[in-house]
Structure 1
Amino acid sequence: MAKEPPTVSELREAAEISDDEINAAVDVVLADLATEAYPLAKGWTLDLVDTLRTNTRAAEARTTDKAAWKRNMVRTAILLAHPVKG
């Protein structure tokens, strides 16, 4: 059985991805989610569309006018996502 790639949070803990790179991904989602393959760092790529589609709270948050809640839910979804090394 193939091992699942690490989460963005695990990569952050291992210093593979920085908070600034995660914040940039959150900004992209909040500005206009039009990209699927988003380059994070060091060859890691995250499918932002799939990340939001599979996280119900983040998808709901994008439709609210509560900016802080929206940002936190999107960031949480990204931290829990599994990017691929490419």
Structure 2
Amino acid sequence: MADPNPTVGELFKAKVVTHDDLNALVDAVLGGRMEERAELGEGDTVDVAAAVKANAFATAVLRDKTSTTGTRRTAARTAILQARAQKA
């Protein structure tokens, strides 16, 4: 039986979430526009703010004003990919 709450990374591998979808979520994090829930494909959502807050590394990197843009993007992307999606 398939996991009812797959990670965003699993949805990405299954091509439910596209590169553009993922990049838009990362851009939202870096732009400070994290909404409570972001829509993913096939009726799934992810709480991007909670995903970043739950990842200690991403939180530390995003708070560090000396972090490079690439490091910030990678940290946000990793936190999002590890987050569990929820059915809408």
TM-score normalised per structure 2 = 0.86
Counterpart CA distance in 2 for 1:58 and 1:12 is 19
Q: Corresponding residue for 1:68?
A: 70
Relative to its length, the structure with more helix (as a share) is 2
Counterpart CA distance in 2 for 1:4 and 1:54 is 20
Q: Secondary structure at the match of 1:62?
A: helix
- 1:32-70 Cα deviation digits (max 9, x unpaired): 144111112221111011101110011111123311101
Deviating beyond 3 angstroms after TM superposition, the runs of 4 or more aligned structure 1 residues are none
Q: Structure 1 vs Structure 2: percent identity of aligned residues?
A: 33
TM-score normalised per structure 1 = 0.88
- For structure 1, which segment, 61-70 or 51-60, has the greater mean C-alpha deviation from structure 2 after superposition? 61-70
Relative to its length, the structure with more strand (as a share) is 1
Over the residues paired in the alignment, what is the CA RMSD in angstroms?
1.4
- Label 1:29 to 1:15 Cα distance change in 2 as closer, same or farther (>3 A): same
Among residues 74, 77, 80, which one is paired with 1:78 in the alignment?
80
The count of residues paired between Structure 1 and Structure 2 equals 84
Q: Corresponding residue for 2:58?
A: 58
Counterpart CA distance in 2 for 1:6 and 1:34 is 20
Q: Secondary structure at the match of 2:40?
A: strand
Counterpart CA distance in 2 for 1:34 and 1:52 is 10
Q: Corresponding residue for 2:9?
A: 9
